[in-house]
Chain A
């Protein structure tokens, strides 16, 4: 009788632990889902996205911006800008997006996608600068374009120093779907 009682208690404990584990897992999943939902439901204007882009890497969010350019031949990429038009974001066609048709240029899109980061290291920037300097010497006529690119590298270095990082972040988005917003 005592043994039966003991084993019954053991069995109840085992089931409740299992249930707890399932409950904990379900709660975790619910938390993840709700976090995701919060993230997807968060719709950023492009201008405000860059301020928090480093915190949103690999997160799925929505962003609004005006299409300035689509890749004419493949349509696999587009660039959007915010109202201030000071910075642009490259969006790759992934997920449900087969491509961005060229007629979207000028349209306001709300794009759901995953923010990605590409880090340009000091070594990469140094090598690029070296290549540009060699090109500048070799081709007298293209001094203007080379200088513009060299200036870009200087600005990147300045930004890295300001943020105290040894890399320069370039953010882009893997677009999963989009809607055209009627203004």
Chain B
């Protein structure tokens, strides 16, 4: 048998233990994980309450959270006119007004808001290069310009074909930013580079002092405005959303997890806070389904899912509902099999790096049993048995696999 030096043995042992700490839980998770199942809820403009919707439930396709059930599909559709308006229109059952507000398909579409947030939106590599469209084009449709820009310590426009900096345009924008009080370097630049949108509102940029600026190109010239939002809240993130009625620019997140919409009335940027609990920006997911009267907001956290019904105009909370998380087979088995384990991917981030997950102390019970078995096993020196035993006590299943794989010193 090959004689392996001590340090080589420990290096190999550690290497295989680390690999095992990643691979073994990964395979166990593949076998045992179940998708999270939560009900779909929507705020009804008719009954003015959150309703659980499940059209597979033939007995009660729609049920209010207080328990009242609607037993037929036709009833269910009538309770949710702004959600099922296409069906109601085709059947000629669409009301012409709700709560005294005139309803037309055009108005429904104009006021519709669909939005999703995930922590991976923030924790993702930023492109560093952005496209500045003409916000007020003379012809309908956005035309891709022949340049891109970067904005960090300076702003530079780079011609795509020649790969050279357009000094004149860069200087024009730099002066516009400085004139408005922007202080370099920029912390981040957020907008929507996709030309497939109804209009362009440029970018929102956070400067080094935490002030949020609106930057776009209007009639070929730079438009820069300090929104002064940074003086009211500690800005963490901004997500642009081009809504059909241009009611707001997008969603602003502050450092404490509160969410706002940024609107513009009379030339001033104003904030309106969403009436929901603050988010954990590193872990929670959010989705919004808004119509012309109410918004339904769903927040998925580590503890379960929270649902909110908000009034559209004021975004004040009208109703809420919580569904606790149920632990699936993976979570139950992991807490016993692995006191901790490694992953390289995570739903909350697009970055790949080793992450250590702790499950609790129950896993050490298995570790103790495995360590004792190893110590009791024959054909090893006492010293080696004790060393292996301690290793398995700490690292558990990956540790015992590594001790079996790596040949011992003779």
Contacts and interface: CB of A to CB of B under 8 A. Distances in A.
Interface string B98-139: 000000000000000000000000000000000000111110
Contact of B137 (A96, A98, A103, A106): A98
B177 to A, nearest CB: 15
A14 B93 CA distance: 87
25 contacts: A67-B267, A73-B246, A75-B136, A93-B136, A96-B219, A96-B220, A97-B219, A98-B136, A98-B137, A98-B138, A99-B135, A99-B218, A100-B136, A101-B135, A101-B136, A101-B216, A101-B218, A101-B223, A102-B246, A103-B225, A103-B267, A104-B267, A106-B267, A106-B268, A107-B267
Interface string A24-66: 0000000000000000000000000000000000000000000
B188 to A, nearest CB: 21
Nearest to B139: A98
A100 B219 CA distance: 9
Interface residues of B, number: 17
Interface in A65-109: 67, 72-73, 75, 93, 96-107
Contact of A103 (B134, B138, B220, B264): B264
A98 B214 contact: no
Nearest to A106: B267
B214 A103 contact: yes
**In the A-B complex, the 6 residue pairs with the closest CB atoms:** A99-B136, A106-B267, A105-B267, A98-B136, A98-B138, A101-B218
A97 B266 CA distance: 21
A102 B214 CA distance: 13
Contacts of A93: 136
Contact of B266 (A75, A100, A106): A106
A100 to B, nearest CB: 7
Given A98-B219, A99-B219, A103-B267, 14 more contacts: A73-B246, A75-B136, A93-B136, A96-B219, A97-B219, A98-B134, A98-B138, A98-B218, A101-B218, A101-B223, A103-B214, A103-B225, A103-B264, A105-B267
B306 to A, nearest CB: 34
B266 A103 contact: no
Nearest to B202: A101
B219 to A, nearest CB: 5
B227 to A, nearest CB: 10
Contacts of B225: 103
A119 B196 CA distance: 42
Nearest to B269: A103
Residue in A73, A75, A103, A106 with the greatest tally of chain B CB atoms within 10 Å: A103
Contacts of A107: 267
Contacts of A103: 214, 223, 225, 264, 267
Max chain A C-beta neighbours (<10 A), residue from B135, B137, B220: B135
Contacts of A75: 136
Nearest to A96: B219
A117 B223 CA distance: 32
Interface in B218-258: 218-220, 223, 225, 246
Contacts of B267: 67, 102-107
Contacts of B138: 98
A102 B270 CA distance: 14
A97 B218 CA distance: 9
Nearest to B110: A73
A73 B225 CA distance: 20
B223 A105 contact: no
Contacts of B136: 75, 93, 97-101
A97 B225 CA distance: 19
